[in-house]
Amino acid sequence: MKIQTWSSVVLFAATTLAGQPALAQAIQKCTQSDGSIVYQQDVCPAGSNAKTMSFDQSTPSSLTLVGNGNHQYSTTLTINGITVPGYVDTGATYVTISMDTANRMHVSTDDAQLRRMQTANGVIGTANKTVSVMKVGKFVLYNVEVAIVANSPTLIGMSALSQLKFANENGNLVLSKR
């Protein structure tokens, strides 16, 4: 499965700072000069084309994800300061990233545990390791097991989602910290 386009991703996020009104957190889609695309919460690097992908929703401690036409929800995954888009997948045991994404995020497989896992498409080989800190959307999570596979979209599975509360509200997926 290949991630198609992220230009239709709609993501809402807000934070509250010490009694201040909620402030929007924007996810930036940064198109680099070489054509590569990076998603991040910070300002895009100089020389890249930036597009804001999120808006203020006035919910201080939650993140509301609006599904696409296939009822899929997406947000960002950040490891070692590198942010990529990912699908929220409550049926996935682990956060799953491709080998290419692992390399970009500086996640080494040197000390990973090799496993064989059953997926909807059959049995695959993975290199699993625990990432000490990652962000899912705006939430910082600790000690999350990640499965690195040869070729896969980024899936945000239960190894991360178990640290969050999630609920379906009016067709939207609402994430909040436990």
Return the domain boundaries, the chain.
10-177
Confidence class of residue 130 from pLDDT cuts 50, 70 and 90?
very high
- Tokens encoding 59: 């919910």
Q: How far apart are CA 26 and CA 8, in angstroms?
A: 15
Specify the pLDDT at position 178.
86
Superfamily designation of domain 10-177? Acid Proteases (2.40.70.10)
Q: How far apart are CA 77 and CA 40, in angstroms?
A: 9
pTM of the model: 0.66
Specify the pLDDT at position 69.
77
